[in-house]
Chains A and B, each alone.
Chain A
Amino acid sequence: MAKPLQRSSPSRSPWLDRLSAFGVWSVALIITAIFAWIMGDILWRGAGQISWDFLTLPPQNAGRDGGIGPILVSTGLILVVCLSVSLPLGLGTAVFLSEFTAADNGFGRLVRRSLDILSGVPSIVFGLFGYTFFAQTLGLGFSILSGGLTLACMVLPILIRSAEEGFRAVPADYRLSAASLGLSRTATLWHLLLPAAVPGIVVGLVLGIGRAIAETAALIFTSGYVDRMPTSLLDSGRALSVHIFDLSMNVPGGDAPAYGSALVLVVLLILLNGAANWIGRRLSFQSGFHWR
């Protein structure tokens, strides 16, 4: 027998509503305030450091003087190595997972589960793996290549899962009508699914770049500390995050350039995210982009 619906007393409900609204707003406010505080702090203490010389000159006196020129170059190279390995591998795996295996396929499930676990593995573990495998076993030593490849391993799970979601979000009718027009699977993939999946791929790319550029622990083991201008991918190169870590922990009086470097890192991250979003919008269909 259905009981009559219990009504809360009309006076209690608005009071509770107001309280929970207050709770939600204050949590949001605290989060925003913390973020604003960190940004403000970095901006306040770092802005004075920024100059053309700081961005281009090599560090001197353990980083207390000079600039971060070679470090920016190393960071860029590590990122390039990381993305040029992880992007094709990640897209390939995402295509395999979404287009070539059914959602309930056992092997697909295994790959997905492994990726979810991998994306939760602490970066220091990736660093250790990168050191033993890339630096020692493959003999790449402390190098930009070792660091970039280690980062690629870290970024892959995030990239694959986001790209896979992007492919799955493409309506199934596109695949059906493409097939009923006698289009090959390859043509469908290249000309329909890939452009339609761009938003998901961009999300993965943004998250991946964020994780890669902020990484310190994995890079100390693999790309090393050397702050000279790298001349090849097999040179050791100090990443920006490693530089900040070193200045603030090991160099007395290194706080000011550490803040300057932190500001550069944050601005770089914002710029890269903006660029990824811009490229994504250009590539996706909504803006009316047409390939030849």
Chain B
Amino acid sequence: MTTLYPKFETSPTSQHPDSSSPFICTEQLSLYYGPQPAFEQVNLAIPAGQITSLVGPSGCGKSSFLTCLNRLTDLISNCRVTGRIRLGNLDVLDAKTDTTALRRRVGMILQKPNPFPLSIWRNLAFPLREHGVRDRAQIDEIVETALQDVGLWDEVKDRLKAPAQSLSGGQQQRLCIARALALQPEALLMDEPCSALDPISSGIVEDLIAGLRSRYTILVVTHNLAQARRIADNVALFWLQQNSGRLIETGSVQEIFEAPKSSITAAYINGVRG
């Protein structure tokens, strides 16, 4: 358990994950809500330290795919996941896997900014405390680092005790990213993190995600192809086939946008379909 649950570092040395090996690998991964498949037989290797973008039309299982990776599917009744997910040498779907530790390693950002109805400071301190960081000075230092990482520190350092709900939408989303970063994860799962924001805030959050490249493995679901092209290293296209989501093609941004192998991909990126 010690390797799975590393100690908190007060000032994390910026890790440079080995990008040659995949961080997460799925094998024949399928997810069903009752009898209805959300996606089936997805084999995807997510390179470490890079930004991988999941694109495709609505309802093809992109968000459901994300929720498998940190076992948030456990919360949904009637939901069944088959196949394998490997994270290093950890079998994610194994019933014995410690989901608390897993979710600390793999953070998640939801579509709508949803800071807890607490103060700005406590939004970050509360999860830290629950993960066993009791020392006030250490908490303060981690909070400051995380807020600086998302470019929020200068905006909020004088009102850390103010309610998080008093922040603007874009600031709230950056606070949520900081809340995930404070737990010092290795990967971040982002489910359309910009789509509920105004264009300016969206641009700021997008730049922030791009800036986190190489320090974290990032998986971002987006409807915005232009955004995927701007920030991603790799793109994976999901598509609805026979009423269930399928992984159609994966590749680097250049491959997908300049030389797609699948005709579906070509039609999608040219705006003919989807």
Contacts and interface: CB of A to CB of B under 8 A. Distances in A.
Measured as residues with beta carbon below 8 angstroms from the partner, the interface class of chain A is 20 to 34
Interface stretch (A156-164, A168-176, A261-269): A168-176
Contacts, number: 65
B108 interface: yes
Interface in A262-292: 285-286, 288, 290
Interface string A165-195: 0000001011111111111100100011001
Contact of A181 (B77, B103, B112, B117): B103
A285 B117 contact: yes
Nearest to A287: B163
A182 B72 contact: no
A196 interface: yes
Interface string B189-226: 00000000000000000000000000000000000000
B107 A181 contact: yes
Interface residues of B, number: 30
Contacts of A181: 103-104, 107, 127, 179-180, 183
Main secondary structure of the interface of A (DSSP, over half): helix
Contact of A177 (B114, B118, B161, B183): B114
A193 B22 CA distance: 37
Contact of B108 (A177, A184, A187, A290): A177
Given A180-B107, A288-B163, A171 B114 contact: yes
B110 A182 contact: no
A290 B119 contact: yes
25 contacts: A102-B77, A173-B112, A174-B116, A177-B108, A177-B110, A177-B176, A179-B103, A180-B70, A180-B72, A180-B103, A180-B107, A180-B108, A181-B103, A181-B104, A181-B180, A182-B99, A182-B104, A182-B183, A184-B100, A184-B130, A191-B126, A192-B117, A195-B117, A285-B163, A290-B118
Interface of A: 102, 171, 173-184, 187, 191-192, 195-196, 285-286, 288, 290
Interface of B: 70, 72, 75, 77, 99-104, 107-108, 110, 112, 114, 116-119, 122, 126-127, 130-131, 161, 163, 176, 179-180, 183
In the A-B complex, the 3 residue pairs with the smallest Cβ-Cβ separation, listed nearest first, are A182-B103, A180-B108, A285-B117
